[in-house]
Amino acid sequence: LKLSEYRPAGADDAVDIRLRLPEDRRTLSTLDELRVQTSQGSVPISNFVVRKPEPTVGILNRIDGARTVVVQANVSAGAQVAAVQQEVTKAVSEMDLGSGIRWKLAGSNEDSAEAGAFLSKAFGAAIFLIFLVLLMQFNKFTSVWLVLSCVVMATVGVFLGLLLTGEAFGIVMSGIGVIALAGVVVNNNIVLIDTYDRLREEGWDKMDAVLQTCRERARPVVLTAVSAILGVLPIAF
């Protein structure tokens, strides 16, 4: 353990001052017996550390010229990654790491952030393109907004479903699912709104047009939705 440095008068290089165990105690068993102070008292390192021999080469990792140490860990089975990340962030933020030391969560956290940014852009682009196509199809904003309103309701339904089942919102799987669901519900709404507009142009009353639309298009819409659900159902398992 390096404690300090000593530079003799007239010398160019400093000498490290190190703390070392006596030679007869420099063994792996001594390392296992070393104790660290915890909230439960003094505990041997061997209680929570498993060591195993591995061939290695001395490497200094640097990012942007700064020396870097990577600490890796896996989340226990059944634990939610987001919750663990919040706990780690809170715990490390409360530590006094000293000046000049910076830290960040990487790995799956960084990958999830990148995937989330990409899916957000993809979702926005998809909605914009759907809006343009619908506007060219219906030539009026009211019908377009009615069709797109189903995307909002479908997204709310996704979050309610996750809340009821106790599942976390996965950036990749849940995000792709929301985008796919938006396509399905928009398709169903197009069928309904197009039929309603046609009946209104034929002189039908509003309520009668709504009821007739349901009579004509309820079965195709339900069959389309059921086939889409059955098609993606294997992903749930």
**Number of DSSP helices (H) and strands (E) in the chain, helices first:** 6, 6
Q: Report the C-alpha gap between 88 and 42 in whole angstroms.
A: 23
Q: Quick one: pLDDT band at residue 11, thresholds 50, 70, 90?
A: confident
Domain total of the chain: 1
DSSP 2: E
Q: Is position 24 within any domain? A: no
Q: Is position 45 within any domain? A: no
- What are the tens digits of pLDDT across the range 59-113? 777 877 788 888 877 777 777 777 788 888 888 888 887 778 888 877 776 777 7
Q: Is position 54 within any domain? A: no
59 Cβ partners below 8 Å, 6+ apart? none
Q: Is position 119 within any domain? A: yes
Q: Is position 212 within any domain? A: yes
Q: Report the C-alpha gap between 124 and 175 in whole angstroms.
A: 12
Q: Is position 28 within any domain? A: no
Residue 57 is inside which H or E element, if any?
none
Tell me the residue range of the domain where 218 lies: 115-236
Residue 121: predicted pLDDT: 86
Q: Are the CB atoms for 216 and 202 separated by under 8 Å?
A: no
Which carries the bigger pLDDT value, residue 172 or residue 85?
85
Q: Is position 96 within any domain? A: no
- What are the tens digits of pLDDT across the range 99-141? 788 888 777 767 777 777 887 888 888 888 888 888 888 888 8
DSSP secondary structure of 15-56 = EEEE----GGG-SHHHHHH-EEEETTEEEEGGGT--------
Residue 109: predicted pLDDT: 67
Residue 10 is inside which H or E element, if any?
none
- What are the tens digits of pLDDT across the range 187-201? 888 888 888 888 888
Threshold 0.85, pTM exceeds: no
Find the mean pLDDT for residues 15-23. 84
Q: Is position 108 within any domain? A: no
CATH number, position 130: 1.20.1640.10
